[in-house]
Chains A and B, each alone.
Chain A
Amino acid sequence: MLTMSYSPLFLSLKIAAIATLLVFIAGVLLARVISRNLFPGKSILESIFLLPLVLPPTVVGFGLLYLFGKNGILGKWLMDWFGVQVVFSWIGAVIAAVVVSFPLMYQSASAAFQNYDSNVENAALTMGASRLKVFFTISFPLAWPGLLAGTILTFARALGEFGATLMIAGYIPGQTDTIPLAIYFAVESGRMEQAKMWVLIIVALGFSSTLWLNWWTKRNTLSFKSKP
């Protein structure tokens, strides 16, 4: 009989959900501001945004430890001002998930905001709409399919984050044991049945979200196709 705690499932979902929300807001705003403007240093900035995608997660984890560790610049500041400890806490796991999944959201959002004719925004401006109104009534709805795709990828990536999480949040049962960490430590200690169970759950979550995304994208990209 399997006796196991379900806390890794709920913890993983909580961390992935919070990370996705933060990444969504930051990714959409930055992509909207940056993607359609040309300015010096744009390529460098975008390369920095995409860096976590190409670096080994351990390098990202090392960088985060450096910044958020007890003696790191941000870690010390957060501790002194807010009494918040990032390392070895679920907050550290959220930060790791945010950093590694951000490039996926940024790329999707950036492509989504360039995927429609920019004159529709100009047309709305000439009709007297404020920039905020244009964003919420024109840009956002037109970019929505791409933004949603980015959100799903972000969530799936945040759910699966392992390396950076291990380095900054460690493995503390009940506090930082997300599913990927639980799998690793179950295998380490020879609890193969438990590992299998978590593997099945995370494969099911990942598969169902990408399947739903594919279905949804196909259904929605057909609708705005223009008559020749």
Chain B
Amino acid sequence: MLKLNFQKRLNQYLLDIKASFQNEIIILFGPSGSGKTTTLNCIAGLSHPDSGIIELNGQLLFEERSKVPVQKRRMGYLFQDYALFPHMTVQKNIQYGSNDNELAQQLTEVVGIQHLMDSYPHQISGGEKQRVALARALATKPRVLLLDEPFSSLDQSTKNQCHQELMRLHQMWQIPIILVTHDKEEARKLGDRIFPIDQGKLGSPDDFW
């Protein structure tokens, strides 16, 4: 279980997040600049709250005096623009954080990118990049998967395929998946629970409906 109870002062408002998540697909739904990405960054350890706690399965990842560094948190993070390493092949990208070749192999089969292993990111399409980034994030056996508007630059049919894939992976993986989006339809389709977020305030799932 992932427990969040933290505050962070941002330029325009105070980010105030209180929630706890099970092994479910959680949607953070809100407009641009509402604090969604900062929330993911705080969970991943790329930036830190000013106060509060972040706890995962009983382990404190953040409290004011002790912070588990980003490298030790084991969070899979899929960035909005995928952030694939442009100078490495797909295979090198996926194996960057893990020596487990068997898992890497299995993941590439699950997301269907075996034929791309020797390609470079600039040689593959947006949907393929998205799959590679997903396989790469899962290759490190993350305890939570964070997705920052992962489907926003894909066309509708690729988007639908990726939605199916994500739900299938969640069935297999059973970890909390936190997905940030401002697409209402996507939120409804994927989310077990949907938390609206606006001006740094996390609402309750009831507010969405």
Partner-B contacts on A (CB < 8 A): 116-117, 119-120, 122-130, 137-138, 141-142, 223-227
Q: Which residue of B lies closest to A223 (CB)?
A: B122
User: Among residues 78 to 99 in chain B, which have CB atoms less than 8 Å away from a CB atom of chain A?
Assistant: 79-81, 83-87, 96-98
- Number of A-B residue pairs with CB-CB distance less than 8 Å in the complex they form: 72
Given contacts A117-B83, A120-B85, A122-B77, contact A127 B97 (CB under 8 A): yes
- Find out whether the CB atom of A225 lies under 8 angstroms from the CB atom of B122: yes
Is B125 touching A227 in the complex (CB atoms < 8 A)?
Answer: yes
**B46 in the interface (beta carbon within 8 A):** yes
Cβ contacts under 8 Å, A120 to chain B: 83-86
Q: Across the interface, do B79 and A129 meet the contact criterion of CB distance under 8 Å?
A: no
Q: Is the CB of B83 within 8 A of A123?
A: yes
Given contacts A225-B122, A226-B122, contact A128 B74 (CB under 8 A): yes
B57 interface residue per 8 A CB criterion: no
Find A227's partner among B44, B45, B76, B123 (CB 8 Å cutoff).
B123
Q: Which residues of B contact A224 (CB under 8 A)?
A: 86-87, 120, 122
Interface residues on B, range: 20 to 34
The residue in chain A whose Cβ has the minimal distance to the Cβ of B92 is A137
Q: At the interface, yes or no: B140 with Cβ under 8 Å from chain A?
A: yes
Name 17 interchain pairs, CB-CB below 8 A, sorted by A: A117-B83, A120-B84, A123-B85, A123-B136, A125-B71, A126-B44, A126-B45, A126-B46, A126-B71, A126-B137, A129-B71, A138-B85, A141-B87, A142-B87, A223-B122, A224-B87, A226-B122
- Complex Cα spacing A108 to B121, Å: 25
A127 near B136: Cβ-Cβ < 8 Å: yes
Q: What residues of A have a CB within 8 angstroms of the CB of B84 in the complex?
A: 120, 123
Q: Verify if B124 is at the interface (C-beta below 8 Å from A).
A: yes
Tell me whether B75 is interfacial, beta carbon within 8 Å: yes
Minimal beta-carbon separation of B9 from chain A (angstroms): 16
